[in-house]
Each structure stands twice: as C-alpha cells, then as structure tokens.
Amino acid sequence: MSIHEEQTLHDFVLNLLNDTAARSAFAQDPTHALECAGLGDITAQDVQEVVPLVMDFGQLPSADSLGGGLGDLPAGAEGIEGAIAQLRSVADAAGEQRSDSGLGDLGGFDLDAEGSGDGLTGTAEVFSEQFEGVGGIGASQDGGAAATALTSEAGELAGAGSAGLEGVTGSLAWAGEASGAGELTGEATADGVHLGSSSDSAAGHFAAVGGGGLEGSSGGGASYEGALGSGSGTLDAGMEGATGELGFDSEQGSLAGFGAASTDGATGGVALGSDELSLEGSAAGKADALAAGGSVNSPFGAYGVEMSGAPETPAAPELCTTGDLAGALDSEALGRGSESAASTLATYMTSNGAALGGLAPVDVPAAPQLPDTGSLPVDVPAKLPTEQLPADLPTELPDPARSLPAETGELPVDVPTDVPANLPADDLPADLPAELPELPVANPLPAPQDVRSEVEQGVQDNPVTDAVGSSPLGDVAGHLPTPDQAPSVGDVDLGGL
C-alpha cells in the first residue's frame, strides 16, 4: 500500500509496521509522509504513541512480548528520530518473532483486557487461514454485555447479549450455504419470557414466536411457507382454559382445525377439503349437554349427521330377590331335595337302623321267648330271716364278665318254661345289689343320646345337605325337625341274647 493515499492514523501506522518501503520513506522524511497520507496535523511523536495501540489491535505481538528484539531502540530517543527508531525496531522484532515461531499457518490469538473498580472491558481476536473470530465484553455495576462474530468457509455466526437490573436479552444469527440464514432472539424480564425465531432454507421460510407470563398465561404462534404449501397455527393457554387454531394450504388440499377447553366445557372442530372430497365436523360439550355434527361432500352425494342430548347417569341394574326366584323353581324338586336331606333319619326309622352306615348293628339276633308273667310268683314273704345272713359282706366282688364264655353259641338256648312256685326263703340274701354288673354283648348298641348325636351329625355332613345348603334354596336341611327321642334299646330286637 502506498503512503501517498489518504489514510487514517491507524492505517498509516499499521502500514509502516508491515511495509518496508513505507518505513524507509517515513524515515527519510516523516513530515512529507504524513502530509501525503492526509495527516499533516500529526507529528512523529503522535505516531510513536499510537504504535502500541495499533499492535494490540493488529496481527503483531505486543511490544512487551518482543523481548530482546527492542534492544536496538535508543534509550533517550525522542521526536522524529525516536519514532523512526521505534518503528524500525518493532517491525524488525515482529518479523523475527513470526519467522522463528513457525506457527504462521496455524493462526494467532490476541487478547486485550482492562479492569478497574468501575468495570471491566476486553477484546479478543482469533484468526487463521480457515476462520476468523472477534469478540468483546464489557461489565459494570449496572450490568454487562458481550458480542462475538465468527467467519469461516462454512458460513458466518454472530451473537450478542446483555444483562442488567431490568432483565436479560440475547440474539444469535447465522448464515451459510447448507444451513441457510436465520435468527433467534430471547428476552427475560420481570413480566415474563419471550422468544422468537426465523429461518430461511431450501425447505422454506419458518417463523415462530412465543412467551409466558408470571400470571400463568402463555402462548405462541408459528408459520411456514415453502414448496410444500403454507400454514400457521396459534396456541394460548391460561388459568381459565386453552384455545388453539391450525390451518394449512397446499396444492392437494386444505386442512383447518380449532379447539378450546375451559372449566365450563370443551369444543372443537376440523375441516378437510380437496377437489374431490370435503368433510367437516364439530362437537361441543359440557357437564349437562352434548352436541355434535358433521357432513361429507363427495361425488356420490352429500351426507350429514347431527346429535345432541343430555348425559345421564346409568341406573343400577335390578337384581332378582329370593322371592322372585322361588316362583321360577320346581316345587317337586324342592320336595325331593328335602327328602334327600332327611333321608338318614327317615331311613333309620323305616329300615331298623340300616341307614346308620355301621353306627348300629343291623343283623341283631332275635330275643328268646320270655315266660309269661302269670307263671312267676307274686307272693313274696313279708319277713325274711336275717339271723343267718353274714354281718360282713365282701366288698370286692368277682367280675362276672371274665367267667362268661366269649362265644354265645355254647350258651343254652332253651329256657325251662316250668318254674317252681315255692322258692326256698331261708337261703335268700336279705340285701340285693342295687346295680347289676355290665355283661358283654356281642353286638353292642349305642346309647340313645349317642344315636341322636350320630344321626344329627350324619344329617349335617350329608353331601346332599351340603349341596342344598350351598344352593339358592337356603338351609333347608339345617332346619328340619328331629324326633325328640331316638328309638330306645328296648324297641330293637336283641335276638338270642
């Protein structure tokens, strides 16, 4: 770049640092070089003062990082000679620094920051052959802000944001061949949050906005326009309910819908249309009413349907009671069931105990023919001799059951029918035993109370009774009357015993 073109002071100094010919011309005649650049009011001392600032914002390392490269700078250099010497020293040191590092292809990084009690400011720059980025930040007691930008072969990206006592805001923008161009913004304040976005790409244009408030309400909307068609939709929601709408148009047809819901009820509808067919339907309902309808238009005709009414709580089904079932049952079957339930007791009474199932012997031998009571003596002496009776009677009597034969077949079966009328009274004992010994019986019968308990238990455990008890007929067998007294032993034929 020639110094004979009108330049700013920054461009003039930057050119001196990078162009050897410009430095030579400036060294020969600094005033003339400044006048040719349109900087006649600038002195060589001014140039010397701005050299560090230009190096900080340019692609050259700072003066402090050049180290021994500034050894040739005169210690007391002032005026034009000092400025020229400084420029030469800085340029030579920067060139050596770049050539010695070997990192020219990888790029570089530059950072400048300054802070104090009032705040902080800073800038940063990153550059290489593939991309270049720059950013800045500033902060104070009232808040802060930041911004950045990045440029590469793929596209460009930029972002900015700020935060303060009133809220936070931010934005992000991008542009590229593959991703298209778009922007995203956001804001958060004491009133709520708001967002927005838009983009343009090969698919079409898309945009959306939305937000929410601290009072519980929120809403949003979106739209699309492209090769497929165009459409939009909205949604609002709050403490009282929600509403929404949708619409889309294309070459094939159109679609639209709406809906709303609240504590009072809900409603909604949808419509679809094309060149050959169209239909629509809607419905609305609340706690005490309901209505719905729809229609269809086609080449075959138009059809519609409507309905409305009030919802009702279904009544509980009526269950048949026991009395209702009694009329539908067969009375003869009930009678047969009762006979089965009482068959144990009835059969015992009619079959001489055969229904007891082993509780009482069935084959009992017939009792022998007892003598007629008319042949027994009826006159018993009033006074019996007591002098011949022993005073001490034995207390331990022999058990007669041990001396009796086990087999009853050895006993005589013919009992004499002639009994003497006059019995000797002298040898009879005065005191007869009050209790008779228990004799063994071949087929012992249960006691009357045992027979009754066994019969009742048989009736209770009868499978027929169980079946009747678990059926809808009720506990029939459990309430059957039983005889007060079971047949006694005297009513049963004991056979030959």
Cα 473 vs. chain centroid, distance in angstroms? 48
The H or E element containing residue 212 is strand 204-213
Structure tokens at 200: 């343009």
Residue length of the chain: 497
Sign for the CA dihedral angle at 350, 351, 352, 357 comes to negative
Contact 209, 195 (CB under 8 A): yes
Contact 144, 166 (CB under 8 A): no
- CB neighbours of residue 387 within 10 Å: 4
pLDDT at 260: 92
Residue 55's DSSP bridge partners are none
The number of CA neighbours under 13 Å toward the Cβ of 395 is 0
Contact 50, 17 (CB under 8 A): no
Separation between Cα atoms, residue 38 and residue 6, nearest integer Å? 5
Can you tell me whether residue 27 is helix, strand or coil? helix
Cα 360 to Cα 287, 302, 461: the distances in Å are 76, 91, 18
Full 3-state SS string of 90-138: HHHHHHHHHHHHCCCCCCEEEEEEEECCCEEEEEEEEECCCEEEEEEEE
Contact 196, 185 (CB under 8 A): yes
Residue boundaries of the structural domains of the chain? 9-99
Residue 290's DSSP bridge partners are 285, 309
pLDDT at 168: 92
Chunked mean pLDDT (size 10), the chain, 497 residues? 61 79 80 84 79 63 40 43 54 46 57 79 82 85 86 85 90 85 90 88 88 83 89 89 91 90 90 87 87 88 83 60 52 53 52 49 51 58 58 58 54 59 60 59 55 56 51 48 49 46
Cα 158 to Cα 148, 202, 288: the distances in Å are 6, 21, 57
H helices then E strands: how many in the chain? 11, 17
- Residue 325 amino acid letter: L
pLDDT at 463: 53
- CB neighbours of residue 374 within 10 Å: 6
Sign for the CA dihedral angle at 174, 177, 181, 182 comes to negative
Residues 6 or more apart whose CB falls under 8 angstroms from that of 89 comprise 69, 70, 72, 73
Q: Could you tell me the pTM of the whole model?
A: 0.41
